[in-house]
Amino acid sequence: MAITIYDQLVPGFCAMLSNLDKIFTKAQSDAEARKIDPQVFVNARLAPDMLPLVRQVQIMTDQAKGGASRLAGVEPPKWTDEEKNFADLHARVAKTIAHLKTFSAAQFEGAETRTVELKFPNRTFTFSGKDYFLGFLIPNFYFHYTTAYAILRHNGVPIGKNDFLGG
Over residues 111-131, the mean pLDDT reads 95
pLDDT in tens, 53-106: 999 999 999 999 999 999 999 999 999 999 999 999 999 999 999 999 999 999
Task: Return the CATH number at 132.
Answer: 1.20.120.450
Number of domains in the chain: 1
How far apart (Å, rounded) are the C-alpha atoms in residues 82 and 73? 27
Which range marks the domain in which residue 119 is found? 5-165
Q: Looking at residue 68, what is its pLDDT?
A: 98
